[in-house]
Amino acid sequence: MNNQSKEIFDLIEKEKIRQENTIELIASENFCSKAIRDACGSVLTNKYAEGYPQKRYYSGCEFVDDIEAIAIDSAKKLFKCDFANVQPHSGSNANIISYFSFLNSGDKILGLSLDCGGHLTHGFKLNFSGTNYEAFQYTTDQDGFLDYDQILKQAQEIKPKMIVCGASAYPRKIDFKKFREIADSCNAYLMADMAHIAGLVATDLHMSPIPFADVITSTTHKTLRGPRGGFILSNKENEEKINKAAFPGFQGGPLEHIIAGKAICFIEAMDLSFVEYQKQVLKNAKILEQELLNYGFDLVTGGTDNHLLLVDLRKKNISGKKAQTLLESVGVSVNKNSIPNDPKSAMVTSGIRIGTPAITTRGCKEEEMKIIAKYINAVLSNPEDLDLHNKIKQEIKELLKNFPTP
């Protein structure tokens, strides 16, 4: 190992220790299995495989062909659909590829605004989705809920070519059937970005978008607990245009090492233990909801019925940015997050987003959730008490020793 690679491996080791000593509550993060990490760090990274299984532009693809075919078949089986493309390098790429498949530049799209829980790629003005298309945004109501009547009204006025549903910071279930009805009422395509809830969908703990959306995009690394990457689902009818849009339309060589990780992820998600895991993710979020409400925190929509909570900190007189920094200093990782109609900028925010997928993977259950809520309350209620913060930091390190990372 030369000095430069040693420096990198030292940093990787530090990151490993950081992860071990942190209560990870970032709602979009998780810990994938060792098998997935091994696949992603394998010799497959050396292989070029532009094209699709049995239709490649390079020789020597017989083994990556089998791997990608297993990933495709497993994704189809897991989500009960008849088309999957597992090549998107990320969720954003999956969304770009889906737009390329169904839209022309300048077409109208309608998606959830970023400050109400949407994603940059759902039409945000600084993102390609907001510059390459004529993007309109719907919002949540005053209490933070999707207002399907209002979205219907807007859709009928705008007549978008595509409606985008799905969210990055929405603590409630999404009614994909209603979105289908809205899309049908204005003859629009429906794209469902299920990145956050893919693990819940895979285990039937959330309504599946599969029968309702024309195209479904996702990441593999959030609730689904796979490697960092994306994928697209649809039906056979759309196979050709989506595959063409992915390659050669947008991406080059697929990352076969990551695709191997995705295959393992889909297979792991078919195991009964994965259903138990997702149930615990939901239980843990519910306990955090109850505990934080008992401590006097306001939650957007009043609570959660998925894997995440959005805490409105205005009453506590602390910004999301400050809360994130304070919690990080004791070893609790959350992210600052805008709340609907946030008076503060996106860099400061009035809220934090809290999710349970990662901490549940480490084996934490109801009792630990109560302890975590207690720590969050103690730190945010006593922002200047450094002695208390140090004590909590030590206690967190001790607590986490009982919950090893995979």
Catalytic residues: 48, 50, 193, 219, 222, 228
| Burial class for 62, CB neighbours closer than 10 Å (0-12, 13-18, 19+) | exposed
Size of the site for ligand DSN (CB under 6 A): 4
CA 299 to chain centre: 20
Cis? peptide before 248, omega within 30° of 0:
yes
x-or-dash string of contact with ligand DSN, 8-47, rule CB under 6 A: --------------------x-------------------
Q: Concatenate the DSSP letters of all residues of 210-228 into one string.
A: TTT-SEEEEESSSTT---S
Least distance between ligand DSN and beta carbon 342 (Å)? 16
Angle at the Cα of 163 from the Cα atoms of 312 and 223, rounded to 5 degrees: 50
Work out whether strand 335-337 and strand 189-193 pair parallel, antiparallel, or are unpaired. Answer: unpaired
The total of other beta-carbon atoms located within 10 Å of residue 220's CB is 32
Residue 326: partners with Cβ closer than 8 Å, 6 or more residues away: 318, 379, 380, 383, 389
Of 122 and 180, which has the nearer Cβ to ligand DSN?
A: 122
x-or-dash string of contact with ligand DSN, 43-82, rule CB under 6 A: ----------------------------------------
Residue 316: partners with Cβ closer than 8 Å, 6 or more residues away: 296, 297, 380, 381
Told to check if 221 binds ligand DSN by CB under 6 A, we report no
Told to check if 331 binds ligand DSN by CB under 6 A, we report no
Least distance between ligand DSN and beta carbon 396 (Å)? 22
Told to check if 168 binds ligand DSN by CB under 6 A, we report yes
Whether 90 contacts 219, CB under 8 Å: yes
Q: Which residue is nearest to ligand DSN (CB)?
A: 28
Work out whether strand 351-355 and strand 308-312 pair parallel, antiparallel, or are unpaired. Answer: antiparallel
- Closest of 305, 220, 217 to residue 266, by C-alpha: 220
Report the alpha-carbon distance of residue 112 to residue 189 in Å, rounded: 15
Least distance between ligand DSN and beta carbon 167 (Å)? 9
Of 56 and 353, which has the nearer Cβ to ligand DSN?
A: 353
Of 218 and 238, which has the nearer Cβ to ligand DSN?
A: 218
Extract the tokens encoding 102: 């169904």
In a 13 Å sphere around the CA of 30, the CA atoms on its Cβ side amount to: 32
Of 30 and 278, which has the nearer Cβ to ligand DSN?
A: 30
Told to check if 89 binds ligand DSN by CB under 6 A, we report no
The number of residues making up the chain comes to 406
Of positions 51, 56, 78, 91, contacts ligand DSN by CB under 6 A: 91
Least distance between ligand DSN and beta carbon 186 (Å)? 27
Extract the tokens encoding 205: 């703990």
Of 114 and 263, which has the nearer Cβ to ligand DSN?
A: 114
Least distance between ligand DSN and beta carbon 357 (Å)? 11
Of 92 and 243, which has the nearer Cβ to ligand DSN?
A: 92
Least distance between ligand DSN and beta carbon 168 (Å)? 4
Of positions 89, 119, 225, 257, contacts ligand DSN by CB under 6 A: 119
**Residues of the shown chain interacting with ligand DSN in the complex, contacts defined by CB under 6 A:** 28, 91, 119, 168
